[in-house]
Amino acid sequence: MAFNYTRIKTKTQKLIKKFGQSYTFTRTTVGAFNPSTGNTSNSTSTYSKQACIFDYSDRDRVDGVILQGDKRLLAEGHDYAVGDTVVIDGDTYTVLNVSYIAPGDTKVAANLQVRK
């Protein structure tokens, strides 16, 4: 018998909404290369998701993967991608790393490392 994680996901989304705020993410998809123009036709899409922002501690920055100024977003479950951008307090940050909290293949939440 498998555990149903839907209730946990719902509760997590409520908590993120209560303590976080809505952010607009942008994803640019590289299109096909046009040899006659030498360009690609890129398409851009946006989506809004709820997230809580946290600063990393000095201990988190020890190995050099996380730099001063990087932020951690605890965001509602969604298919985020490295390279997506998000605007935080007027500054544009790029998603560098995505890790999911996903028991039983249910994306409950995501940890996003973002950098200006």
Cβ–Cβ under 8 Å, residues 23 and 86 = yes
Render pLDDT for 28-42 as a digit per residue (tens, 0 to 9).
998 888 888 888 888
The pair of three-digit structure tokens given for residue 27, joined into one six-digit string: 């994803």
User: Closest Cα to residue 71, out of 52, 94, 88, 54?
Assistant: 54
Render pLDDT for 15-24 as a digit per residue (tens, 0 to 9).
999 999 999 9
pLDDT value of position 110:
97
* Residue linked to tokens 């149903």: 4
Residue 5 binned pLDDT confidence (cut-offs 50, 70, 90): confident
Q: How much is the mean pLDDT over the chain?
A: 92
Average pLDDT value for residue range 76-100:
96
Torsion of CA 26, 11, 5, 94, to 10 degrees: 20
Burial class (CB in 10 A: 0-12, 13-18, 19+), 111: middle
Q: Report all structural domains of the chain as residue ranges with CATH numbers, in order of start.
A: 6-115 (2.40.10.270)
